[in-house]
């Protein structure tokens, strides 16, 4: 596997659920030297509906090598063993990576967006 793995890289990943799909590495570069990375899975299913919600980020066809319009699913963020990374597809532009990281922040309510505290 080519190193180093970088935040914003998009890889085809074999997930435990038994399917392969693109995922965006979102873990910090310092943490990508171990045996796992933190990744946000992508899907090309129900893109228009999902793209309207704050926990998804629209990724148009061709973005980082994606073959179809897709969305990053920030609420499904998960650790992925390096052995599950199959092939690098590309990398997100810094602005698009920022959108994905903001969606993750929204999912965990990092900025107290609902004002419940």
Burial class (CB in 10 A: 0-12, 13-18, 19+), 76: middle
Instruction: Note the pLDDT of residue 3.
Output: 58
Q: For residue 117, what pLDDT band results from cuts at 50, 70 and 90?
A: very low
Does residue 94 form part of some domain?
Answer: yes
Percent of the chain whose predicted confidence (pLDDT) is above 90:
80
Q: How far apart are CA 89 and CA 21, in angstroms?
A: 11
Q: For residue 16, what pLDDT band results from cuts at 50, 70 and 90?
A: confident
Does residue 37 form part of some domain?
Answer: yes
Instruction: Note the pLDDT of residue 113.
Output: 58
Does residue 114 form part of some domain?
Answer: no
Give the pair of three-digit tokens for residue 2: 């080519």
Contact 78, 21 (CB under 8 A): no
Does residue 13 form part of some domain?
Answer: yes
Number of domains in the chain: 1
Does residue 42 form part of some domain?
Answer: yes
Task: Determine the average pLDDT of the residues in 24-30.
Answer: 94
Q: Is the pLDDT of residue 6 over 90?
A: yes
Residue environment code for 82-112, b if the CB has 16+ CB neighbours within 10 A, otherwise e: eebbeebbebbeeebbeebbebbebbeeeee
* Distance from chain centroid for Cα 16: 16
For residue 53, what is the domain's CATH number?
2.30.30.110
Does residue 113 form part of some domain?
Answer: no
Question: pLDDT tens, 68-113?
Answer: 999 999 999 999 999 999 999 999 999 999 999 999 999 999 887 5
Does residue 2 form part of some domain?
Answer: no
- Selected residue with higher pLDDT from 25 and 18: 25
Q: Of 15, 9, 7, whose CA–CA distance to 81 is shortest? A: 15
* Domain span holding position 49: 9-107
Does residue 112 form part of some domain?
Answer: no
Question: pLDDT tens, 39-65?
Answer: 999 999 999 999 999 999 999 999 999
């Amino acid at each position: 596997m080519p190193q180093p793995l970088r935040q914003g890289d998009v890889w085809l990943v074999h997930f435990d659920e038994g399917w392969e799909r693109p995922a965006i590495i979102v873990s910090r570069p310092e943490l990508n030297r171990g045996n796992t990375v933190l990744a946000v899975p992508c899907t090309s299913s129900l893109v228009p509906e999902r793209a309207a919600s704050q926990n998804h980020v629209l990724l148009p066809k061709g973005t980082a090598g994606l073959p179809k319009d897709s969305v990053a699913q920030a609420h499904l963020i998960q650790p992925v063993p390096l052995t599950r990374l199959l092939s690098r597809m590309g990398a997100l532009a810094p602005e698009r990576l920022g959108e994905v990281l903001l969606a993750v922040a929204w999912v965990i309510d990092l900025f107290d967006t609902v004002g419940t505290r």
